């Protein structure tokens, strides 16, 4: 199926650990994103990559480091996890040019719980 | 930056019509999206407006007034499966990729 996929779907870990979330899209899009949705359901952009280049880097602690090995993949590594990092992390992709709406397609989300 | 306001919760009856409003203040505007998000799932695209007026797509319509910084999503013939959060989102004209989301309106459809 053509889609945006993320792994893992659930992640439960202890404070202070380091963890990674992986994202892949097979829609042929040139732009990928990471969003954080907190307990109040507010969806906030963290990072965006266009053709492997970082173009959006919101005010995010530098414990969060995105990596885009190619256009179809965007991973998120989080160091020294804190309780406040508990949230659902969504990956998304879009096509910047040539489309009708250039809307974003979201992955299923990764629910991160830090204990 | 962008500031987006929408009601946090609404309730409507199955078969009825509901209008979800969204107002925004923006330093640069290049289109407004509506997304639907069912509980525990990812947001999915519903509609996009960049020019003033009404866009209709089946039971869903979206309206935009750029001069008023105002949009609404109209849902007709409500079904129980329409119970979800509806997110208003504004695209920045400085950075085409940057889309700022509102807090979302949680719609409950009751029998």
Low pLDDT (below 50) residues in chain A: none
pLDDT at residue A52, rounded to an integer? 84
- Among A36, A38, A41, which would you mutate to test the B interface (most chain B Cβ atoms within 10 Å of its Cβ)? A41
d(CA A38, CA A106): 16
Residue B15 · residue B78 · CB < 8 Å: yes
pLDDT at residue B26, rounded to an integer? 84
Q: pLDDT tens digits for B40-69?
A: 999 999 999 999 999 999 999 999 999 999
Residue A69 · residue A13 · CB < 8 Å: no
Phi, psi angle pair for B79, to nearest 5°: -120, 160
Contact list in B for residue A105 (CB cut-off 8 A) is 45
Residue B59 · residue A17 · CB < 8 Å: no
pLDDT at residue A99, rounded to an integer? 67
What is the average pLDDT value for chain B, to the nearest integer?
Answer: 94
* Res. B2 pLDDT band, cuts 50 70 90: confident
d(CA A30, CA B91): 17
Inter-chain residue contact A31 with B99, CB threshold 8 Å:
no
Contact list in B for residue A42 (CB cut-off 8 A) is 101, 103-104
Position B85 pLDDT exceeds 80 = yes
Position B10 pLDDT exceeds 80 = yes
pLDDT at residue B1, rounded to an integer? 66
* Res. B93 pLDDT band, cuts 50 70 90: confident
Inter-chain residue contact A40 with B45, CB threshold 8 Å:
no
d(CA A35, CA A88): 8
Q: What is the mean pLDDT of residues B101-105?
A: 95
Q: Where are the beta strands (DSSP E) in chain A?
A: 4-7, 10-13, 19-25, 31-37, 43-50, 53-57, 64-70, 73-78, 87-94, 105-106, 110-114
């Amino acid at each position: 199926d053509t889609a945006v996929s993320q792994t893992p779907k659930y992640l439960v870990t202890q404070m202070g650990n380091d963890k990674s979330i992986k994202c892949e899209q097979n829609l042929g899009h040139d732009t990928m994103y990471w969003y954080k949705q907190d307990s109040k359901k507010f969806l906030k952009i963290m990072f965006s990559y266009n053709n492997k280049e970082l173009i959006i880097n919101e005010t995010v602690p530098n414990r969060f480091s995105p990596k885009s090995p190619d256009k179809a993949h965007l991973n998120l590594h989080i160091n020294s996890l804190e309780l406040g990092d508990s949230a659902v992390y969504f990956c998304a992709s879009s096509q910047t040019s040539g489309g009708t709406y250039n809307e974003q397609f979201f992955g299923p989300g990764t629910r991160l719980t830090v204990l | 930056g962008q500031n987006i306001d929408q009601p946090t919760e609404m309730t409507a009856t199955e078969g009825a019509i509901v209008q979800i409003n969204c107002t925004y203040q923006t330093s640069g505007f290049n289109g407004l999206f509506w997304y639907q998000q069912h509980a525990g799932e990812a947001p999915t695209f519903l509609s996009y407006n960049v020019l003033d007026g009404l866009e209709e797509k089946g039971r869903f319509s979206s309206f935009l007034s750029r001069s008023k910084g105002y949009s609404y999503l109209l849902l007709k013939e409500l079904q129980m499966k329409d119970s979800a959060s509806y997110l208003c989102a504004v695209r920045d004209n400085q950075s085409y990729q940057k889309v700022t989301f509102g807090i979302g309106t949680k719609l409950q459809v009751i029998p």
